[in-house]
Every structure is written in structure tokens, then in C-alpha cells.
Amino acid sequence: MAMKFGILGKAAVVAAIAVCGGGSLAAASPSAQVLASPRAGVWDRLAKCESGGNWHANTGNGYYGGLQFKRSTWASYGGERFHRYPHRATREQQIVIAEALRAARGGFGAWPACARKLGLPR
């Protein structure tokens, strides 16, 4: 059975292959990309700042998950292919969408306070 990827999924797979220097597109998965990503530690640090590292955070403030996505942002960047709400998606799935958001915006500006605190490019 062939894997199906949305537009953002294809871009993430291509980026992961380019960064890692090879691999089979058919064998790549969002979870495997995240675990192999050198940037995974950055996302863990950002989640620690945003939500205390709780990837399933839902405090009722309108932001969800470890990286505190607005539901509309989550949906706009393809998150609903994983789950309707970010806090119900896995850490790896949240990072896949965060990578797409970061790439589209050219930095970590979607998380301004924590990006500044962690010294990440905005």
C-alpha cells in the first residue's frame, strides 16, 4: 500500500531526505523524520518553554499541545490530517506541523517570547 502525503507532508519528506542525504521516499514517515531530525531537540526546548514540555497541554486558553498551536493555525498547516486538535496529536506529528510553519514563516516567529528567550531566529 502506498503512503499518502499531503502537500506539506511531501515537502517535509523531501526536506528530510535532503538533510539526511538519502533514503527511500516510500519508507519515510513523519515520525521517522522527526526522530532523525537534528532540530528535534530545539522543538523539545521550545515545548518546555511554551507548555512546560507537555505535548498534550489543553489549558483552555485557545492554544493546544506542546507548541501551543491555535486550532486555526494547526488546520492551515495541515495538522488535521493527524487530528482535529493539536494536543491530541503525537509529539512527532506536532513537530511535523511546526516545521512546516517555521519553514513558511522563515523562522520561529510564531513563538515570539520563547524564540527570543531561547535565542532562536525569528
Where residue 2 falls among pLDDT bands split at 50, 70, 90?
very low
In this structure, the chain runs to a length of 122
pTM value is 0.71
Is residue 74 classed as helix, strand or coil in its secondary structure? helix
* Cα gap 7→45, rounded to integer Å: 27
* Cα gap 118→67, rounded to integer Å: 14
* Cα gap 46→27, rounded to integer Å: 28
Is residue 70 classed as helix, strand or coil in its secondary structure? strand
pLDDT tens digits, residue range 56-84?
999 999 999 999 999 999 999 999 999 99
